[in-house]
Amino acid sequence: MVQPHFHRFFCLAPFFLQLLCTAKLSSLSCPQSASPSAPSVSGPLSRADPGPPVTFTCMSGGFSPRNITVTWLKNGARLPAPQTQVLPEHENVSYSVSSTVGVSLTPGDARSQLTCQIEHSTLPAPLHGTYHLRDALRGRSPAGADPWGLWGLRRTHYPLGRV
């Protein structure tokens, strides 16, 4: 169990860091914020059928200043209309970003990849998080993708081709 005074310290720590950063005292220097974290991309909780849009989410944190650009790509092609939110909305020492995009899956997406690309002024190159759409797609694998059949057992080893 976390002691109450530790909880108060960690809740107030961002406030005190902000005060240090905005203080005009020459004897104090602003602590450097942590570098941004690698983007984490998540998909639906359960596999989806091809057709209706499925929501994917990209999250990352540790940015300062607040200007963060998120781009979604499917197999390298830019996707339209992502919903991106940078938190907190007020002035702070460090910011997090959450972005969602809807993607309509097709049977051919078993070999597709979704990429969340984050650009920021402090980064020498964009950060990337990926999601393999086969992990979200319900249904059979494409022809030739699983020549061994279910659980790696060759169907021809059994009478009547059954596993």
- The tens digit of pLDDT for each residue in 5-64 reads 333 333 333 433 333 333 333 333 344 546 899 999 999 999 999 999 999 999 999 999
Task: Give me the pLDDT at residue 130, please.
Answer: 98
Average pLDDT of the residues in 62-67: 95
Is residue 62 in some structural domain?
Answer: yes
Is residue 79 in some structural domain?
Answer: yes
User: What distance in Å separates the CA atoms of residue 125 and residue 127, rounded to the nearest whole number?
Assistant: 7
Mean pLDDT computed over every residue of the chain: 76
- Percent of the chain exceeding pLDDT 70 equals 64
Which has more confidence, 110 or 28?
Answer: 110
User: What distance in Å separates the CA atoms of residue 68 and residue 29, rounded to the nearest whole number?
Assistant: 25
User: What distance in Å separates the CA atoms of residue 137 and residue 54, rounded to the nearest whole number?
Assistant: 10
As for how many domains the chain has, the answer is 1
CB 136 within 8 A of CB 48: yes
101 closest CA partner among 122, 77, 119, 123: 77
CB atoms within 10 A of CB 64: 18
Give residue 152's pLDDT band: very low, low, confident or very high (50, 70, 90): very low
Helix, strand, coil % over all residues of the chain, rounded to 5: 20, 35, 45
Task: Give me the pLDDT at residue 55, please.
Answer: 97
Q: Could you give the C-alpha distances from 147 to 20, 132, 158, 163, in angstroms and in order?
A: 62, 20, 15, 14
Average pLDDT of the residues in 51-78: 97
Q: Return the DSSP state at 24.
A: -
Q: Which of 59-63, 84-88, 94-98, 153-157 has the lowest mean pLDDT?
A: 153-157
What CATH code is carried by the domain that includes residue 110?
2.60.40.10
Task: Give me the pLDDT at residue 29, please.
Answer: 38
Domain ranges, residue 131: 32-137
Is residue 1 in some structural domain?
Answer: no
